[in-house]
Amino acid sequence: MSSNNNKMGLMGLTTIVTVNMMGSGIILLPSSLAATGGIALLAWVVTAIGALAIAYAFAKCGMYCTDDGGMSAYAEKAHGKSSFFIASYTYYVCLVISAVAIAVSCVGYLEYFIPWLKETPIHTFVGVISILIITMFANVKGAKITGQISTITVWGIIIPVLGLSIIGWFWFDAQVFEEAWNPHDISVGSAIYSGMALTLWAFLGIESAGANSGTVENPKRNVPLACMLATVFSAATYIASTTVIQGIIPNEVLAKSDSPFGLVFAQMFSPLVGEVITAMAIMACLGSLLGWQFTNAQVSKVAADMRLFPKIFGDVNKYDAPFKGMMIMLAFELILAIMTISPTLLKQFNVLVNLAVFINMVPYVLALTALGIIMKNADVNQKEYNNGIIIGSVAVLYSIYGAYSTGEEAVFYGAIITLLGYFFYGFIASRETVNNKVSS
């Protein structure tokens, strides 16, 4: 367990949750959504409602279940010890995939300054693995340092995205927005479906407050507060900024951009301002990646402490950081980066996003369906229980639809990865049975 003087407070935790969402999801999202057109913005409305329901449910879980492990601990309350492992395992895999996707986003912005990175897919790969290695080693000094770094880097995305949401309307052209609205003449339902996985990706990170609960001061108060504050802030800025950018940059140009925020600020002001914003976006990507890797290290450490992951994941250095587990995670990230090399950054990004979203819905559903028993164990009043069940049900159904929206390929490979988790757990369960017989 972390010592008290090395734990994060509400501000540090809210920052990590915010940067986990905003520092990764929004960076390339305007370009990805532009492939469908402005009508894909309708997916934000559905996603914002679903994300708030998820945030509320996780806030309640975090309020009444402060066991280390976040979603995994919640899942165990309803589904037993095997669900703790499956939730930890799938979340771990999701964050490995997410880390690579964020590194891809970062390289997209870096290409502006280092054109060599986009000359060949191999050059892009070198950039991706370099970023993964740098951020992983930046995490070795523990929770407090990670929180401090995130407090700085989050401004790299808050300033341009929030700034665009406020002042971008002065450059907003209704005709540009209208022309971009539905260039492929698709139905509203199809547009929402096409944008659902991408917009849901932007909100992944809601749960990271709970996952880091073991390193937070007063988790009963700070975990739920961090969930709600980060989600409300992120939802408002996402919807406003992506709407504005669709009314400034022509859709066909936006759809091909690897650095949409740098592009829009360059058009609004000057190429120099665009370069500054691009540099800030790179900083935000690095901070987001730092936060994701820190969170994943904590997930695997808690699972190792419960003898559900190999013991090596729980070994910590003098800063209370699970360094060996981080190196194993880095190896997985590098392997995944090799497997997903693509001719274009946006294609690689979208493949990773869909797979990450599907896999992350597994621990979401396991954890959210435990809300009822968590509230019963806490002996909450009937009104609070009823509200929690209603909103929690919305969160679960939305999560299932989010998994469906990732598409056939992501569902297929995600299901295989999940089933492999049960295969691994069979060995863990048999090992525990043998140990229990020996001890008795």
pLDDT at site 265: 94
3 in any annotated domain: no
284 in any annotated domain: yes
Q: Which of 414, 166, 147, 181 is nearest to 291 (CA)?
A: 147
88 in any annotated domain: yes
What is the average pLDDT score of the chain?
Answer: 84
437 in any annotated domain: no
Q: Which domain holds residue 67?
A: 10-432
Here the CATH number for the domain that contains residue 401 is 1.20.1740.10
The more confidently predicted of residues 18 and 261 is: 261
Task: Express each pLDDT in 41-70 by its tens digit.
Answer: 888 888 888 988 998 898 888 888 878 778
CA 358 vs. chain centroid, Å, equals: 12
Q: Which of 143, 146, 104, 145 is nearest to 126 (CA)?
A: 104
pLDDT at site 366: 96
309 in any annotated domain: yes
Task: Express each pLDDT in 113-148 by its tens digit.
Answer: 888 887 888 888 899 899 999 888 877 776 666 666
Token pair of 440 as six digits = 């008795």
Judged against a pLDDT cut of 90, whether residue 370 lies above it is answered with yes
pLDDT at site 250: 92
**DSSP one-letter string for 259-293:** -HHHHHHHHHT-HHHHHHHHHHHHHHHHHHHHHHH
What is the per-residue burial (b if ≥16 Cβ within 10 Å, else e) of 83-102?
bbbbbbbbbbbbbbbbbbbb
Task: Express each pLDDT in 227-243 by its tens digit.
Answer: 778 888 888 888 888 88
440 in any annotated domain: no
5 in any annotated domain: no
Residue 389's pLDDT band (cuts 50, 70, 90): very high
Judged against a pLDDT cut of 80, whether residue 325 lies above it is answered with yes
31 in any annotated domain: yes
Token pair of 210 as six digits = 């709970």
The number of folded domains in the chain is 1
